[in-house]
Amino acid sequence: MQPLVRSVLDGYNVCIFAYGQTGSGKTFTMSGPRDLTEKSQGVNYRALGDLFLFAEQRKETFRYHIAVQMIEIYNEQLRDLLVSDGSNKRYPCKSPPSAS
């Protein structure tokens, strides 16, 4: 993950994408277990930790504006996983144009 995190700090957009069948461990891999410890952190927490660590190390040279988005696509519904009010906001999905 560290090369991807460094790419972010070099100005590139990066997407970390987990894909697979239901129950295959995507959420566990990305977030970690419910009883989270520093050693059991998932990819998301490790990547964000590295991102802020590297940004802090470079603060004398660069100023960063960091934006993070975490979304889930499940049953063809797009959900924002960072909504803080607990609503798990669904984004409206546009239907494809009908064939005429």
Residues at the binding site for ATP are: 20-27
- Distance (Å, whole) CA 66 – CA 84: 18
Q: Are 1 and 15 in contact (CB under 8 A)?
A: no
> Residues annotated in the binding site, as ranges?
20-27
DSSP state of 98: P
Q: Are 84 and 70 in contact (CB under 8 A)?
A: no
- Distance (Å, whole) CA 79 – CA 22: 16
- Distance (Å, whole) CA 55 – CA 91: 31
